[in-house]
Chains A and B, each alone.
Chain A
Amino acid sequence: MRLLTHNMLSSTIKGVSNGFPLTIEAAKVVEKQVDMNSDFLKNIFSKIEWKPFVEAAKTLGFSELPEEDVQPSLLDSHEFLTKFHHALLEIHLEEGALVCPETGRKFPVNKGIPNMLLLEDEV
């Protein structure tokens, strides 16, 4: 599971008012090389919730992303794009869990696949 996906996932348990972002518990992290596409990065940049993204990257061992003053002008920097690309698309949570920020309920991630299924009393 990529951090792009983590940034798009929420806990939808009944009664939870803000299920985003999910906290990551990482047991195994893998990296897979992906060719960089600057246009994609420039388009998706404004859709990314930056703080949760930086936190998630740190949890997976990557702490080179800027934390504050993150302006669209950064997208002109090749160095920034390279780091953004790496954190967004190349780092995968392979084994671990995503934790609902309100209830603490854990959604397991096995072989890179998050299990977001809810139990009957959670729907």
Chain B
Amino acid sequence: MPSKIADIRLVASHPEVYEPCDDSFALVDALLSDRANLLKHQPSLCLEIGCGSGYVITSLALMLEQETNNGIHYFATDINPDAVAVTSETLKAHGVHAEVMNMDIASGLEDRLAGLVDVVVVNPPYVPTPEDEVGQGGIVASWAGGEDGRSVIDRILPVADKLLSEKGWLYMLTLAANKPLELCGLMRRKGYASKIIVQRSTEEESLHVIKFWRDPDSEVQIKKAAANRGNPTSVFSRFSLLSFSGNGNASSK
């Protein structure tokens, strides 16, 4: 069966909701390129944080669809009330279902859904802006990322860590200005390996999609190395550089 993604003509819109753009397309391309791994992974629960127009979660549901019920269930959250309504319409227009919820990141789900989510997908508000633009309502929430575009990303990562199952994968879109190496280092300290699976430069921005997965070996290595050298920071950054030079082949597990 050829893999399908959301049809841009069927994606609903609203003046206060971010329309699918280069970043959304890069994230869906990344998921498509990893589709065979995702199918083998047999996820049970998938979550998109910040679903906006619904383009990404709809595409994910479509690309993993099979002839019989595959037993995959989808959740999607957004802080913008207009966005959740639009996501709901986009899903309906494509005949797929996700449980859509209006909340900040995953605030109402963190306790009960902890450790149960096999795939988390995030296209965060990554644009560097003055800090006071972060957390404003409406469409601004879809892009305003504060200093280095990291204000919301830095809140999302611990939540993703909490929600992800033992075999969980996180796909996150980032901008070069978000310091992706530093993000990989942060996640490495939580026991995750990482790999860039899509890189795309446009006239305006340089985008990466990073895939994170739990890697018990790397956690042990980090602890050992830190104990030996007594200077964890430099070791972490060195490991994150390693993972960026293509040492992340465990993603095909």
Q: Which residues of A are at the interface with B, using a C-beta cutoff of 8 A? A: 1-2, 4-5, 7-12, 19-20, 32, 34-37, 39-40, 43-44, 47, 49, 89, 111-118
Contacts and interface: CB of A to CB of B under 8 A. Distances in A.
Given A36-B69, A118-B107, A113 B112 contact: no
Contacts of A32: 97
Q: For B81, B104, B108, which residue has the most chain A Cβ atoms within 10 angstroms?
A: B108
Contacts of B68: 35
B111 A44 contact: no
Closest 10 pairs between A and B when the two form their complex, measured CB to CB: A40-B71, A37-B71, A35-B69, A116-B108, A116-B103, A8-B112, A115-B102, A5-B99, A37-B69, A9-B108
A116 B101 contact: yes
Interface in B80-117: 81, 84-85, 88, 97, 99-104, 107-113, 116
A4 B73 contact: yes
Interface string B46-71: 00000000000000000000001111
Contacts of B116: 8, 47
Contacts of B44: 40, 43-44
Given A1-B99, A115-B81, A117-B102, A8 B107 contact: no
B143 interface: no
Contact of A12 (B75, B85, B101, B110): B110
Given A11-B108, A12-B108, A34-B97, 18 more contacts: A5-B99, A7-B112, A8-B113, A10-B111, A10-B112, A12-B107, A35-B68, A36-B69, A40-B44, A40-B71, A44-B44, A111-B88, A113-B85, A113-B100, A113-B102, A114-B102, A116-B102, A117-B81
Contacts of B70: 37
- How many chain B residues sit at the interface, stated as a range, is 20 to 34
Contacts, number: 76
Nearest to B109: A8
A1 B75 CA distance: 10
Contacts of A40: 44, 71, 73
B103 A117 contact: yes
Nearest to B100: A113
16 contacts: A1-B99, A5-B99, A8-B116, A12-B107, A35-B69, A36-B69, A37-B71, A40-B44, A49-B112, A113-B100, A114-B102, A114-B103, A116-B103, A116-B107, A116-B108, A117-B103
B79 interface: yes
A32 to B, nearest CB: 8
Nearest to A2: B99
A4 B73 CA distance: 10
